[in-house]
A and B are shown apart, each in its own frame.
Chain A
Amino acid sequence: MAKKITEINASSMADIAFLLLVFFLVTTEIDIDEGINVVLPPWTDEPPPDVKQNNRNTLAVLVNSRNELLVEEERFEVEELRDYTKKFIMNNGRDPEMSDSPQKAIVSFKGDVGTNYDTYIQVYNELRGAYNELRDDLTRQKTNGRKKTYLALDPLSRDSIIRDEIKDILPIRLSEAEPTDFSANK
């Protein structure tokens, strides 16, 4: 009689594997978060210096509690903001109402405690977008079209020289004031 080879019963193996699989399926989160990076100014006890609103180098962007956008005290639509900000930064002294140079231009952004977060992000996104687009343009110019965006310049390669140059020419000077609070002054 031929010797029968005993088989290990592996049918419960699948059950064990399924159990683990279900656990990981439930707990998994595959997508990577994306975010708009902001660096806050360090905390000081002294009140911040008054930014002169009429200064030609300051672009005053205001969003009130009714989510209305005011740029230099004029009503604006969010869609217009990006182009206007780009024009303001790259003015280089042409228009007497706008900045002397990109290095001197400051975008001052102020909200209200009642401003909706969604509106705030839309406006902030446009202001950042203006800077990012200008930096991308400059990157294409400086690399003769080799790199399309500023972020594609690897800080660890020799492109870091170009990256630093662009940073010097076009510093992001986007300052955020404490939101106004009219309800507290009642």
Chain B
Amino acid sequence: MLGHFKRKKKELPAINTSSLPDIVFMLLFFFMVATRLRETEVKVKQSLPKATEQEKLEKKDLLSYIFIGSPASEFQDEFGSAPRLQLNDRIATVDEVQAFVASEKAKMPPELANKIIIAIKCDKDADLGILSDVKTELRKANALKITYITLRGLEN
């Protein structure tokens, strides 16, 4: 009994970690609230141009993204280095844009489907040729509201 007592006295007191989960949970809730899940992996280069006249896009439920740019280096063997467009998670051709718009509209509540906004995330180094092809397809698909995603700031 005496020996048992002595041993206990020498032992370091354990650090109370019971409040650690509380701190971590607080951080967790912050990120849960602030998060928007990354839906797709972007397979094309995305270095966006800078502009000053853009507006914040607050109606996220109306947005559908089209990415345009040269395929990233790990996909260049398959798709080449000329600018391509990406719909959802795969690199597509311009003919697929109309079907893409239709499927995006079908995902939305019917009363919102006509208000769809196509957000175009186009790389700086892409050219107008592919962009204008996409715009023509969007006009044919009757998705007339588009927005060019840009960064805020002045060039150079």
Contact = CB atoms under 8 A, between A and B. Distances in A.
Interface of A: 10-11, 13-14, 16-18, 20-21, 24-25, 27-30, 32-43, 111-118, 120-122, 124-125, 128-129, 132, 151, 178-179, 181
Residue among A117, A124, A128 with most chain B CB within 10 A: A117
Contact of A117 (B34, B127, B144): B127
Given A24-B35, A34-B56, A40-B144, A122 B51 contact: yes
Given A10-B21, A24-B28, A117-B122, A39 B144 contact: yes
B128 interface: yes
A37 B128 contact: no
Contacts of B35: 24, 27-30
Contacts of A14: 17, 20-21, 24
Nearest to B147: A35
Given A14-B17, A34-B57, A40-B138, A21 B24 contact: yes
Given A43-B139, A117-B131, A128-B53, A36 B147 contact: yes
A118 B132 CA distance: 14
B150 A34 contact: yes
A37 B124 contact: no
A114 to B, nearest CB: 6
B142 interface: yes
A36 B51 contact: yes
B150 A32 contact: no
Interface of chain B, main secondary structure: mixed
Given A114-B127, A151-B55, A42 B122 contact: no
Interface of B: 17-18, 20-21, 24-25, 27-28, 31-32, 34-38, 49, 51-58, 63, 68, 117, 119, 122-129, 131-132, 135-136, 138-140, 142, 144-152, 155
Nearest to A112: B128
A19 B140 CA distance: 46
Contact of A11 (B17, B25, B149): B17
Contacts of B58: 32
Contacts of B17: 10-11, 14
A121 B49 contact: yes
Nearest to B122: A117
A114 B129 contact: yes
27 contacts: A10-B17, A10-B21, A17-B25, A21-B31, A24-B31, A27-B38, A28-B34, A32-B56, A34-B152, A35-B57, A35-B119, A35-B150, A36-B54, A36-B55, A36-B147, A39-B145, A40-B145, A42-B142, A111-B132, A113-B128, A113-B129, A116-B128, A117-B127, A121-B150, A125-B51, A178-B136, A179-B128
